[in-house]
């Protein structure tokens, strides 16, 4: 399936993930309509706040994750492009979307110069169904752009959890508790940039961060393309 998609990508001209227009994977019009998250943002979870300085109450939920930053709101052309990238086999959107993601990733790599990029993993069963993991595609492109090495170990999903869509905050948390494990040499205090396409409550990212901390990671910062405000 993946090979077939790559062949089609090569044969067919690029089409915009946002509006379907032929010519680019994300056309200039759709790129302009991507709504970047604006300050004031919560210092920890990065959500947009009404007034600077107020706490959004995320500290009780996000303990292992030092910070979460997303590029833009999950709406409009970006929402359509991510949906096609994730569920409709438009793997060729990876470089265009990773390009947007560098806006926050470069800032974090500037702060944590030793940081390693780690994608949020899919369970092997889900990976077989979908044929690819969208977070792995984004990380592959980002490592190439930023000339970052692949870590010696990897984060894996040990429990196949039902999708988080439609679950409330508490259920999202218990759904992904202990779902991840770090396999490989201990991380020896290094910083990790955890990468995914969309963040909602941050429950999946927090569970990944717990596994990375158990594997010896220092600071864990999560970066996502889009953010659903809940
Ligand atoms: Zn477009
Ligand atoms: Zn917050």
Q: How many domains does the chain have?
A: 1
Q: In Å, how far are 6, 117, 225 from 120, measured between CA atoms?
A: 23, 10, 13
Ligand 1 centre from 19 Cα, in Å? Answer: 4
Low-confidence residues of the chain, pLDDT below 70? Answer: 1-3, 5-6, 8-10, 54
Question: For residues 82 and 94, is the Cβ–Cβ distance under 8 A?
Answer: no
- Which residues in 24-66 belong to E strands, given as ranges? none
Protein residues placing their CB within 5 Å of the ion ligand 1: 16, 18-19, 27, 30
Q: Which ligand gives the minimal distance to the CA of 25? A: 1
pLDDT tens for 126-160 read 999 999 999 999 999 999 999 998 999 999 999 88
CATH number, domain with residue 107: 3.40.50
Ligand 2 centre from 189 Cα, in Å? Answer: 24
Q: What is the DSSP letter of 114?
A: T
How deeply is 13 buried, as exposed, middle or buried, from its count of CB atoms within 10 A (0-12, 13-18, 19+)?
Answer: exposed
Spatial strand order of the sheet with 116-119 comes to 67-73, 220-227, 192-199, 116-119
Q: Which ligand gives the minimal distance to the CA of 16? A: 1
Question: For residues 180 and 206, is the Cβ–Cβ distance under 8 A?
Answer: no
Q: What is the pLDDT of residue 5?
A: 66
Ligand 1 centre from 122 Cα, in Å? Answer: 29
Could you list the residue range(s) of the whole structural domain that residue 159 is in? 2-227
Q: What is the pLDDT of residue 2?
A: 59
Phi and psi at residue 224, in whole multiples of 5°?
-135, 160
Q: What is the pLDDT of residue 28?
A: 96
Ligand 2 centre from 66 Cα, in Å? Answer: 11
Ligand 2 centre from 101 Cα, in Å? Answer: 20
Residue among 130, 115, 126, 82 at smallest CA distance from 191: 115
d(CA 193, CA 220): 6
- Maximum Cα interatomic distance, the chain, rounded to a whole number of Å: 52
Q: What is the pLDDT of residue 52?
A: 83
d(CA 230, CA 228): 6
Q: What is the pLDDT of residue 6?
A: 65
Q: What is the pLDDT of residue 87?
A: 94
Q: 3-class DSSP state for residue 124?
A: helix
To 5 degrees, how large is the angle CA 221–CA 190–CA 222? Answer: 10
pLDDT tens for 51-61 read 887 678 898 89
């Amino acid at each position: 399936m993946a090979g077939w998609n790559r062949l089609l990508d090569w044969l067919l001209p690029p089409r915009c993930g946002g509006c379907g227009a032929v010519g680019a994977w994300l056309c200039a019009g759709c790129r302009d309509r991507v709504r970047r998250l604006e300050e004031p943002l919560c210092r920890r979870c990065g959500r947009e706040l009404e007034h600077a300085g107020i706490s959004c109450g995320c500290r009780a939920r996000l303990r292992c994750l030092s910070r979460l930053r997303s590029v833009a709101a999950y709406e409009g052309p970006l929402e359509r492009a991510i949906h096609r990238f994730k569920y409709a086999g438009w793997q060729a959107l990876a470089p265009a979307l990773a390009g947007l993601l560098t806006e926050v990733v470069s800032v974090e790599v500037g702060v944590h110069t030793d940081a390693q990029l780690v994608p949020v993993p899919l369970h092997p069963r889900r990976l077989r169904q979908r044929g690819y993991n969208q977070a792995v595609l984004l990380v592959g492109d980002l490592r190439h752009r930023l000339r970052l090495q692949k870590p010696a170990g990897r984060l894996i999903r040990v429990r196949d959890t039902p999708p988080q869509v439609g679950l409330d905050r508490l259920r999202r948390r218990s759904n992904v508790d202990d779902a991840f494990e770090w396999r490989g040499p201990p991380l020896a205090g290094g910083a990790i940039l955890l990468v995914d396409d969309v963040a909602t409550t941050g429950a999946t990212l927090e569970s990944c961060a717990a596994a990375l901390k158990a594997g010896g990671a220092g600071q864990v910062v999560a970066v996502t393309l889009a953010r659903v405000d809940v």
